[in-house]
Structure 1
């Protein structure tokens, strides 16, 4: 599916959650009409699961009589469970939280419903790029250039980031191999549907001493202790690191930041389809979206959410940067992921 470039409207902090919840119970029959039902949510644990409860479930669902249960586990495990349950008349979850590429994957596998936006009172406020047949975008950010200004000069592009001159001051995150390869492809003048042009850049950076970190957290530790001073990462994560005192800045590269989103899909055999749509509608409430912007540093996916100007400067993108935002070709990633991972493990990391 072709994805369109979003347009943003981000200005102020969320309204009081209690007021928003009260308004929702009066004005949102799609959320409260089946009060008392159960909704089982497949999601990651940790802070994300906690924030789902605090910003969506408690104020907009539980307060209206819904029972919400989180089925927490990793993304691969939950997708495998969905596949194993595909022939059952009733699955174990009503809604599943996944990354954009994996929302597309489970839809292509025939595991999830086509979203019926006529059932969402808040669906009309979605940014075009976050409104898919295969799922609904919840939060988004973009892959940008990140650097420690005390260690390196500010890069302007992905090409600057992958310059071998940085040697072992450059850090690369192992689990981000898909998006890192896309960023390198952009740096080499390519696009979102061919990673081949970027491979020589990555190979040269690795030969010059670029360090590979297994996780986002390990990369952050490398920035914190001064092992590395430059790399690529989600802008939202950079905000979290800045709040934790890590000396890091970010800049939208001239080639265009690469959009990242996570959202929710509905299994075809969801036991409570009405609860699935109630959760989606609650997720798209302005107050819930605004709270996630402040708590996690990710941008709202709706046009009627507002955040304070200072926070918007940290997490958001200018109109020019939005116009230059690059959306991954999910179909290409799925068709070529095995080859991409094979090259990454056997050639690049070797």
Structure 2
């Protein structure tokens, strides 16, 4: 079921951590080695979410941004600056990409990148307006220098506005990532944004590379990344707590992975970055090109930056092309039209080979082929 959820879960408050401390998932990804080659410098990631709280660990890493939140009727002069965040979800996503790890927050995977915060009504009583606001945000990001758009949110409201906005961004050479959803244990409704052509749907795995039970999955799962225990903003956004990051956090790490690759290869197009991300991802253990639980696997930017793997291929051919155009979906039985943010409240090189998934499902629903084609329900 796709439902509105809180921005961050209640968890154990994190003690202040040293800036040099690296979480295990970054160690597995060989982050410190990668940063000697590329750290995201020159790449702007638009985080369309609940805004961002100005924290010491984000100083100098966040652009002015913009807010598309509409004021309530009873307070028409109310303003909502992008550098504010009621719930903490957008702040967590920002830190996962560019944070310096201070005060117990996460170290960002692409610390040299810049985040463009685009604030929506996620996490407020006006959350039903968030997808329409996100549509404006997508266009703003595309027109103002963002190379990557991180949508760790989803929902059915105003989907008809979001689809052309994403198509516009893609026409400007922007990569769009979205979380698959955290409904894997509750009916497995997936984020409708993930069905859109060219959008990369991201699932969540634990530190061992196993698909998390909470992670929604299906034929629109393209990649998966770490969404287990990590530092997230507590629900009152006054401290860092330890909790599952879910597919939201996984999406931020996928966005940061793309930023690292693009930073090292600024002459590549979005198609080439996506192609190399998929080509160098850890493949499913069951021998298929992709499956519905992890997609093509986990992004491994170290394979590109350190091992010089991956063929970028043709700059103008989309790796996920070949699917039929999709019509705006309508909520099915048991689904609500309310938008939501995914709960964040989610050897070396993170180069896992993926499990056969027998513990997750008796049958693998997605069978990969030899051609990278994103298949569609509709």
Bigger radius of gyration, 1 or 2?
1
Give the number of the structure with larger relative contact order, counting CA–CA contacts within 8 Å between residues 6 or more apart.
1
Give 1 or 2: higher helix fraction. Answer: 1
TM over 0.5: no
